[in-house]
Amino acid sequence: MRPSEVMRLFRDCGAWMEGHFQLSSGLHSHEYLQCATILQHPPLAARLCQSLAERFVSDDVTCVTAPALGGIVVGYETARHLGARSVFAERVDGRLQFRRAFQVVSKDRVLVVEDVVTTGGSVEELISLVRDRGATVVGVGALVDRSGGWAAFEVKYHALLSLHLKTFSSSECPLCKEGVPLTKPGSRGL
């Protein structure tokens, strides 16, 4: 799936919007993207994740893992297309852990996925967690990379879409200066 097709899907279902938004960071932007909006549609989630899975079909993936909550659906759908297990990691006292009797073992070949890579910090943490179990990390996949090209990992990395969102502090925001009404989306987005 080409990035332009991915963008069209996001736009068509309202997951990508133009306007005047306050992001969870407090910064302002004229664009807003919310992956959960597209992932609520199972056929669309399946299409995106199949496209992501296709990049890793030759890697003998046995297990796909993702950080909760944002990555769970992407991990599960991608695992389905790869015929692999799907496990997620969740934060306990601020650190990612495998709970719920999820087992990642030394013979596993693991694909780490995210809905959105911003700094890559959670992915790096998850790679370490997987390697602590003695397993091999074969790659990293994401629906969207919004790191502006900064995120890089020592394994194969593919994102379906790379976004370069311009953000502004409220004092420097051109839309604030024009008096455009500000929208504060309720949930975490970009």
Question: Residue 175, interface with Zn ion (CB under 5 A)?
Answer: yes
Question: Residue 27, interface with Zn ion (CB under 5 A)?
Answer: no
Q: How many CB atoms lie within 10 A of CB 182?
A: 14
Question: Residue 23, interface with Zn ion (CB under 5 A)?
Answer: no
Kindly state the smallest distance separating residue 35's Cβ from Zn ion, in Å: 23
Q: How many CB atoms lie within 10 A of CB 78?
A: 30
> Residue-wise over 14-30: b if at least 16 C-beta within 10 A, else e?
ebbbeebbbbeeebbbb
Binds Zn ion (CB under 5 A): choice among 78, 173, 189, 190? 173
Question: Residue 28, interface with Zn ion (CB under 5 A)?
Answer: yes
Token pair belonging to 186: 């309720």
Q: How many CB atoms lie within 10 A of CB 186?
A: 7
Residues 114-153 as x/- pattern, contact with Zn ion by CB under 5 A: ----------------------------------------
- Owner of token pair 């900064």: 150
Question: Residue 165, interface with Zn ion (CB under 5 A)?
Answer: no
Kindly state the smallest distance separating residue 21's Cβ from Zn ion, in Å: 8
Query: Residue 68 in contact with residue 89, Cβ under 8 Å?
Result: yes
- Candidates 41-49, 75-83, 85-93, 176-184; binding stretch for Zn ion (CB under 5 A): 176-184
Kindly state the smallest distance separating residue 96's Cβ from Zn ion, in Å: 33
Kindly state the smallest distance separating residue 17's Cβ from Zn ion, in Å: 15
The rounded distance, in Å, linking the Cα atoms of 127 and 110 is: 9
Q: What is the DSSP letter of 118?
A: S
Residue number, nearest CB to Zn ion: 173
> What residues line the site for Zn ion (CB under 5 A)?
28, 173, 175-176
